[in-house]
Structure 1
Amino acid sequence: MKKKLLALGLITVLMGTLFIGCGSKSSETTPTKETTKTEDTKKDGALEKVKLQLKWLPQSQFMGYYVAAEKGYYKEEGIDIEILPGGSDIIPEQNVYNGAANIGVTWVSSLMTYQAQGYELQEVAQMFQKSGLLVASKKATGINSPKDLAGKKVANWFGGNEYEVLALLSKYKLDKNKDLNLVQQDFTMDQLKEGSVDAASAMTYNEFGLLLESGISKDDLNVINMNDEGVAMMEDCLFVNSEWASKNEDLMVRFLRASIKGWKDACKDPEAAGKTVYDVDKSVSLDHQVYMAKEVAKLASPEGFDASKIGQIDMKAIKQTGDFLKLYNPDLAKTPVVDETTFTSKYWDKATK
């Protein structure tokens, strides 16, 4: 069924080859959907094809899927997995909706934006339980707490990645237009290193590591953690075309079971997981992939978290993400819908029994 939809700015988190992250691609599209009849019918014991669309290029941000593939977990579940790399011109939500991929990885805020446009997409697992976004600064700038951002030049990638920062500023009653200078951040951390900005956005598992790898000591940096400040928004999740998933429930459950197994292994041994990802695409150093893997493990299975619950959807955190998205995205006409039609645990529940 075709739908005529309002144009809406896309929140897509894009970065350069070394960066996960943060850029945007605006589009004025009416979603069109190919037939939802699956082409991946299991016959005579043959493996069923599943295409997983990543948000970005192969890196340890997605280590659980690569580990599951490398260890044969998908094959054990009767699945022939194809992991499709993302890129600046690839939008997971559109690829999954249109049938170019069966399952996708995206940030929850981006998914909500497409859902608000009428795309019948549904989250089925939340792989990151915490936000990985930091605001980093050199100690010499004197930013010891969020209130010290007043009068400073603060950088962010925008394109939807600014919402947590805006929530942080609001918490401390800082006006983004009057009390500080919020500027565009590039795909490096050079602005912070060179001192052209006082504070910059950084993902725990990527840009912050790049700062350390550049020779800056952790002791010389201050960080503001969105989780600690209570303004976190949920990031990497798995989502599907809800109609496709309903017609392929058993396949969906088997995919999740294999993926969760891969994520458990990756979080238990991130060094091995980083090496697995490095061997897929040697676009960044082995050391950086291992660093990323160790930090990603802290998001997928935080300290004190029950590893058997990897991938569970925390509806309270999802609703917080929707609330912040509505507050700071002027294009959203209403608060994103958060219910079983948009976020469901039914496949995850069966996969983890």
Structure 2
Amino acid sequence: MKKKLLALSLAVLMMGTMLIGCGSKTSETTAKDTTKSEDTSKKDGELEKVTLQLKWLPQSQFMGYYVAAAKGYYKDEGIDIQILPGGSDIIPEQNVNNDVANIGVTWVSSLMTYQAQGYPLQEVAQVFQKSGMLLVSKKEKGINSPKDLAGKKVGNWFGGNEYELLALLSKYNLDKEKDLKLVQQDFTMDQLKEGSVDAASAMTYNEFGLLLEGGLKKEDLNVIDMNNENVAMMEDCLFVNSDWAAKHKDLLVRFLKASIKGWKDAVQDPEAAGKTVYDVDKSVSLDHQVYMAKEVAKLVAPQGFDTSKIGQIDMNAIKQTGDFLKKYNKDLAKEPVVDDTTFTSKYWEEATK
């Protein structure tokens, strides 16, 4: 009987050791579900869990976080990171508000719409310093400037992605109902290729690359850049529930430190960063992930930008985004509030000092 008890005890001990070993291998993971995030409280010698909710599927748009995870930067800061992929049915603002995730990635205009509904959400870092939104047409369509959009079919994805386009039309006194036809756009760019739209919306780092990969050449295309037209709105940012941030200030600062370090590396070597993202989820080609990484780097650290300031919040750009949103989103619950309760640099300043 004693021998049986001893054998049973040894078996339990070995099973516990195996489970601990498995846990150590998953200290930095990309989560495949959106279950409620676990308690981030830290015990001696343990990593603190942080769950990051992305806006979209794993791609180089988010390369800084994947690089930071792959290189162990989160672990160095005492963090066990989980990166939750997004998708068309996942809303980062709701997941952060409902504690499914601790930190989220979204566009500023989208964040503002939820803040206007009373969600206690707060931006803590602005990762993209420029807009990636373009309006692209084939040269044969004769759209050499925005005023040439008159009488044309113009595509956009809508769902909150249309505000820069509406600002552009307003700048050139084009009525979206009378002077042209706005068309629901899919994500393939086939409508532009086939000619069912004359101009299509495209992100520099994704859809524009799809056109080039599909055989079109830059010299065959006319491009309207929202930045050059001064109608740009801020896109990818990091945000939190303000109550969670106040309770976990040190943890948030350490997360930002690791993330900024990952973004610096990604911007410096986007080819390697694209490969890192490709290895996470081989949903698109390696070439496309690398192309995307190189273009995203230009938005995170534009030419002449000091990379020590990656993630800084330009309040003038934020206010412009709020002004456009207020003007063109007729369903907005109330005017966007742009102050230190909704957009704060204090955590970023602590992380970068």
Give the TM-score taking structure 1 as reference length.
0.89
- Residues 1-353 of structure 1: matches in 2 within 5 Å? 39-353=39-353
1:334 is displaced (CA, Å) by 3.4
1:138 is displaced (CA, Å) by 0.3
* Cα distance in 2 between the residues matched to 1:81 and 1:247: 18
- Determine if contact 2:74/2:80 at 8 Å carries over to the other structure: yes
- Give the match for residue 29 of structure 2: none
Gaps of 5+ in 2: 1-35
* Cα distance in 1 between the residues matched to 2:244 and 2:197: 46
Residues 155-189 of structure 1, C-alpha deviations (whole Å, 9 max, x = no match): 00111111000000000000001111111111210
Count of residues paired in the alignment: 318
Structure 1 counterpart of 2:216, which letter?
A: I
1:43 is displaced (CA, Å) by 1.6
* Cα distance in 2 between the residues matched to 1:326 and 1:85: 30
Q: CA RMSD in A?
A: 1.1
* Cα distance in 2 between the residues matched to 1:138 and 1:66: 35
Structure 2 counterpart of 1:102, which letter?
A: N
1:335 is displaced (CA, Å) by 2.3
Gaps of 5+ in 1: 1-33
SS in 2 for 1:317: helix
- Determine if contact 2:113/2:333 at 8 Å carries over to the other structure: no
Structure 2 counterpart of 1:300, which letter?
A: V
* Cα distance in 1 between the residues matched to 2:102 and 2:147: 44
1:135 is displaced (CA, Å) by 0.2
Hey, which of these two has a bigger chunk of helix by percent?
A: 2
* Cα distance in 2 between the residues matched to 1:121 and 1:319: 17
- Give the match for residue 9 of structure 1: none
* Cα distance in 2 between the residues matched to 1:105 and 1:182: 28
Structure 2 counterpart of 1:84, which letter?
A: L
Structure 1 counterpart of 2:301, which letter?
A: S
Whichever of the two has the greater Rg, that structure is 2
1:45 is displaced (CA, Å) by 2.1
1:197 is displaced (CA, Å) by 0.8
* Cα distance in 1 between the residues matched to 2:333 and 2:104: 25
Q: Structure 1: which 4+ aligned runs deviate by more than 2 Å? A: none
SS in 2 for 1:325: helix
1:332 is displaced (CA, Å) by 1.7
Residues 80-133 of structure 1, C-alpha deviations (whole Å, 9 max, x = no match): 000011112211101101111000000000000000000000000000000000
Structure 2 counterpart of 1:312, which letter?
A: Q
Structure 2 counterpart of 1:216, which letter?
A: L
Structure 2 counterpart of 1:268, which letter?
A: Q
- Determine if contact 2:40/2:50 at 8 Å carries over to the other structure: yes
Structure 2 counterpart of 1:68, which letter?
A: A
* Cα distance in 1 between the residues matched to 2:184 and 2:256: 37
SS in 2 for 1:227: coil
- Determine if contact 2:64/2:263 at 8 Å carries over to the other structure: yes
- Determine if contact 2:106/2:236 at 8 Å carries over to the other structure: yes
- Determine if contact 2:106/2:237 at 8 Å carries over to the other structure: yes
- Give the match for residue 17 of structure 1: none
Change (3 A) 1:145 1:309: same
1:333 is displaced (CA, Å) by 4.5
* Cα distance in 2 between the residues matched to 1:205 and 1:185: 17
* Cα distance in 2 between the residues matched to 1:41 and 1:178: 57
1:214 is displaced (CA, Å) by 0.3
- Give the match for residue 4 of structure 1: none
